[in-house]
Chain A
Amino acid sequence: MGQIKVSIKYYNLLREAAGQAREEVTLTSPANLLDLLLHLEKQHGEGLGRWILNEGKEISPAVRIFLNGDTPGESQALQDGDEVALFMAISGGSAGVPLSTSY
């Protein structure tokens, strides 16, 4: 247990929803990415939360998270001084309507 500081960089819709490009948040360790996103939702409310979390309060499949320039696993623990970049995906997505064609 202890406090860790993580710096966040927001992009595209998330920058607008958070109302800022960067911020630093303090989390209680251990904390993983989901903990971070839940924390951000609490801090910024539904405006940001609706993009980054789905209805079941899991990480939205349309959000892209980079941890220190790499793509982390969902359960990866955050360290003090980590840099997190948050985007909404901007290619490759769908409305999830099932397709009947398969290979």
Chain B
Amino acid sequence: MYLVTNAAKCTGCQICQTFCSLSHSQVIAPARARLLVLRGEGDEITQPLTCQQCQEAWCAEACPVDAVHRDPTTGALVVEEAACIGCGACERACPFGMVVVNKETKLAEKCDLCGGDPLCAKMCPTGAIAVINDSEEALTRSRQGVAELQASLPSLLAQITGETVEIAAGNRGRKKGVTALVGKIRDRQVARPLVTATAPAGQQAWGATPTLPGNKQASGVAVQDAGAPRGTSSAGNRLDPSSPYQGRPALPMPLTELPPGHLRILSSSVAPVYPCRYQGYAGRYLRVNLTTLEIKALPLEESLAENYLGGNGFGTKILWDEVPADVEPLSPENKLIISAGPLAGTLIPNGSRVEFIAKSPLTGIYGDANAGGFFGPELKFAGYDFIVLEGKASRPVFLMIQDDLVEIRDALLLWGMDTFAAEATIQKALGDDQIKVAGIGPAGENLVRFAAINVTSQRSAARAGLGAVMGSKNLKAVAVRGTKGVKVAKGQEFLEFARQTHLRLRNNEIFPAVSRFGTPGIAALMNLIGRFPTKNFQFGHFEHIDEIDAEALRDKFFVKNLACFNCPVACDKIYRVNEGQFAGTTVKSLEYETLNAFGAGVFNANLASIIKGNDLADRLGLDTVSAGRAVSFAMELYEKGLLTRAETDGLDLEWGNYETVLALLKKIAYRDGLGNLLAEGVRRAARAIGRGAEYYAMEVKGQELAAQDGRAQQSMGLAHATSNRGADHLKAFPTIDETGYPNEGRRRYGEAYLPEIVDPLSNKYKAFLVKDGEDYGAVIDSLGNCKSGGTFVMAELYWDDMAKALELASGMPVTAESLKRTGERIYNLQRAYNIRHGISRKDDTLPRRLLTEPSPSQRAKGHVVRLEVMLEEYYRLRQWDPATGIPTRAKLEELGLAFVADFLGQAR
């Protein structure tokens, strides 16, 4: 038997590694897997590396006690544990880094082909690892594999690590550094003693400001004057618009040129490990006070896990407890919670997510943002469930976590850098490309109210302006590296259940299309039903859709598929512009929302410019949705004569002018001129402009609308109106009625709700659909799973599945019913938090345009959002007072939230 790999098919999802590590090492940790996934060149290289089961086996030859034998049935080279003395000779001998001596057990670990049924191949969703069963062919392929690796590995590794190695012919490849290099890569994934910081014992006072050297490269890096105090108001933070964003080096400067003192440790702490009754959880969290530089690691309270799950739920409870109504979102008293759920970092597809929660500077109420990628799992692997960041540093800093070692480091060097450069600098400076970073760009530094947090690798926690909260705390980034892994309560059962969930996703009838086209795949379809906002929601249909839809994207710009952690879908793709004005621009994860925000929303049919806008927004650290809506708002005011050229800094705000779109993105991030106004969000900007501009501000509760025209899908109208973080499709995320999915309606809710529940233009049962989605969504955002994976976009995994997953992972008793109550609890607590901030029924509304201007587009023609009828039903189902929209005491008590009713002064 032989495992044949195909790099071209690999998406870098690490499913092979997570399943391997749980099955062999009883812990979910890619670091402990018996195969590697090589990654490099901006993720353009993702390549599985498996044991070749070499015919002339270096490992077996090297073993002094003959502990490595060939299994006669499978042909695998297997380590006999009883014989192994842990000397490491095999590890040193293997030219491909495929044998590792476990430092705890002192036993050599390597691939044993799972005794004849390799799990990696079974679970790989793309066929990048496949099994050759025929023993003759296996022999040939193994020989070929060894020869090919010997030939290709040196240059591949050189590409990934930047270090060159040679391989002399005939020396079997090991002496010339290949072993060392694979070992190095492996080290980066495998548990090892990490860079031990020369940390001062306690905290260190702020030292003298390190001065930047006068060389050209460095002067382009730090935009902000090193000594300039930063005010708390937006105006006080304005940077010189001519500041050299353009001139800044795209790559971080070489380490040797780092000015002394930069990235230095200001405070450090070694976190103790706490026992936790529940698995799946790391069992501890961090509380970091940026004012005092104090770092505390504390045990996770079990009741918090039982009642609020994790992620979003934890953040909600902490905000409720610790951030009262009089706290300004951009003040040091606001807190930012970064929280991964109990299923983040596990095998349940796809546990890639991390939540950021704080009071939102955009809406002034509960705010959260969520990102996939690899940060959430890494936080868990380092051994933390969440981090509470409070106070405000007196100078730019970043938080660096390496397993138990936690440091606050100087970030003056990083301040002013774009998000990608900051991430790369941290990785390079600390010599570990596996560090995952969540950081802000210039927009967050300049307190743009819709600044995003950019997360490795190029995913954005974009909504609600939480990047500005980081900026207000002088916190450039949080970087994390974890090698511990996640343990689950019932390993074998969990593995089997997870395997089934993966297979169900892969058998889902819409999986092929979702996987191939990602979220852009829905653009043409939504355009056809009149749901694709065009010209700031004047229309729901963009006549040039063919130029910007998923098909155009795939035809002209597609490079490769890319997955978030443990996701079989791989809806991310690398896209590159190869010619013309924007040639060379490369993005990952260009989403439906961005296609709309920088495309139809502003009447722009130039797809290359949309890709450029996406890249720019990610680098600057902007939410593409709010940024796009801010631009389309300004364009409509210009069209209506409410903004004149005198007020646009000379920019031509004609619809479709993509140069203007790109220019405005920069102006917003640097708060320059018209950009400074738009950086406040459309609600504040409209108020400042007056003259009836408010009618064109497409927002709810202060947050800009995403790309769902509720006139074409009534449930989305309601979802935007009720969402706890202001306008948003993702809280309720109704998908079964987008294009009418009766099977799903039937499967989830039963025949009784058909056909209306899946009819996008019907109002019937939509309150029910939205409430269910909000509660379920609160659970998904709390567990650490993805809504674009199998829970919403593919309506595959539902209450029962997630209850079972949590129970098997944590060991906590969970049922679908108890999970529903938890979802409702979290959602009601968020609502109550908003009630404390003056939110009531009057705020659960939509822009007047959607309520009064009939849609001119497609099937939605003649329809407005009939909000009131849905809202009535919604409050009734929620058991909220229909007059005020406040949760009733009876409901709150039922959910274990009596303390909320007391706080709100509700009579007993």
Contact = CB atoms under 8 A, between A and B. Distances in A.
B528 A66 contact: yes
Given A102-B749, A103-B749, A90 B743 contact: no
B510 interface: yes
A64 B516 contact: no
Contacts of B58: none
Contact of A91 (B522, B798, B800, B858): B522
A61 to B, nearest CB: 5
Contacts of A61: 509, 741-743
Nearest to A61: B743
B799 interface: yes
Contacts of A95: 504-505, 507-509, 796
Contacts of A64: 525, 739
Interface string A30-56: 000000000000000000000000000
B799 A101 contact: yes
A12 B520 CA distance: 10
B539 interface: no
B521 interface: yes
A21 B551 contact: yes
Contact of B513 (A89, A94, A98, A99): A89
B750 A93 contact: no
B508 A70 contact: no
B794 A88 contact: no
B773 to A, nearest CB: 12
B738 A101 contact: no
B551 A69 contact: no
In this complex, the interface size class of chain B, counting residues with CB under 8 Å from chain A, is: 35 or more
A96 B743 contact: yes
A89 B740 CA distance: 9
Contacts of B735: 91-92
B514 interface: yes
Interface of A is mostly: loop
Contacts of A96: 509, 743, 747
B727 interface: no
A69 B525 contact: no
B517 interface: yes
B766 to A, nearest CB: 15
B744 interface: yes
B521 A90 contact: yes
Interface in A69-103: 69-71, 85, 87-103
Interface in A1-25: 11-13, 15, 21
Most B Cβ at <10 Å: residue of A85, A88, A95 = A95
A16 B795 CA distance: 25
A19 to B, nearest CB: 13
B666 to A, nearest CB: 33
B28 interface: no
Given A12-B550, A70-B859, A102-B749, A92 B507 contact: no
A98 B749 CA distance: 11
B115 interface: no
Contacts of B749: 102-103
Contact of B512 (A66, A88, A91, A92): A88
B883 to A, nearest CB: 27
Contact of B744 (A60, A85, A93, A101): A93
Interface centre among A69, A88, A92, A93, by most chain B C-beta atoms within 10 angstroms, is A92
Contacts of A102: 749-750
A94 B794 contact: yes
B885 to A, nearest CB: 23
Contacts of A13: 512-513, 516
Interface in B151-175: none
B741 A89 contact: yes
Interface string B739-758: 11111100111100000000
B859 A90 contact: no
Counting chain B CB atoms within 10 Å of each CB, the highest count among A89, A94, A100 belongs to A94
B508 A90 contact: no
A27 interface: no
B689 interface: no
Contacts of B253: none
B751 to A, nearest CB: 10
A99 B796 CA distance: 9
Nearest to A66: B528
B517 A12 contact: yes
B747 A101 contact: no
A96 B744 CA distance: 8
A93 B510 contact: yes
A27 to B, nearest CB: 22
A100 B507 CA distance: 19
A64 B521 CA distance: 13
Contacts of B794: 91-94
A21 B800 CA distance: 41
A101 B823 CA distance: 15
Given A11-B524, A70-B859, A92 B508 contact: no
A94 B514 contact: no
Nearest to A64: B739
Contacts of A90: 510, 513-514, 517, 521-522, 525, 793
A71 B740 CA distance: 10
A50 to B, nearest CB: 10
Contacts of B792: 91
B739 A92 contact: yes
B715 to A, nearest CB: 12
A70 B749 CA distance: 26
Contacts of B816: 100-101
A93 B509 contact: yes
B510 A99 contact: no
Contacts of B800: 99-101
Contacts of A71: 740, 859
B260 to A, nearest CB: 53
Interface in B816-839: 816
Contacts of A99: 747-748, 798-800
Nearest to A98: B747
A95 B38 CA distance: 32
Nearest to A89: B510
A21 B554 CA distance: 13
B97 to A, nearest CB: 38
A12 B796 contact: no
Interface in B190-215: none
Contacts of A91: 510, 514, 522, 735, 738-739, 741, 792-794
Contacts of B564: none
Contacts of A12: 513, 516-517, 521, 524, 550-551
B99 interface: no
A100 B803 CA distance: 12
A97 B794 CA distance: 13
A87 B511 CA distance: 14
Interface string B702-744: 0000000000000000000000000000000001111111111
A90 B528 CA distance: 14
A93 B747 contact: no
Contacts of B795: 92-94
B332 to A, nearest CB: 42
A87 B523 CA distance: 11
A95 B793 CA distance: 13
A11 B507 CA distance: 21
Of B522, B528, B743, the most chain A CB neighbours within 10 A belong to B528
Interface of B: 504-505, 507-514, 516-517, 521-522, 524-525, 528, 549-551, 735-744, 747-750, 772, 792-796, 798-800, 816, 858-859
Given A60-B509, A90-B513, 8 more contacts: A12-B516, A61-B741, A62-B509, A62-B510, A89-B513, A90-B525, A95-B507, A103-B772
Interface of A: 11-13, 15, 21, 60-62, 64, 66, 69-71, 85, 87-103
22 contacts: A11-B549, A11-B551, A12-B524, A61-B509, A62-B510, A70-B859, A88-B512, A90-B522, A90-B525, A91-B522, A91-B739, A91-B793, A92-B744, A92-B794, A92-B795, A93-B508, A93-B741, A94-B796, A96-B509, A96-B743, A99-B747, A102-B750
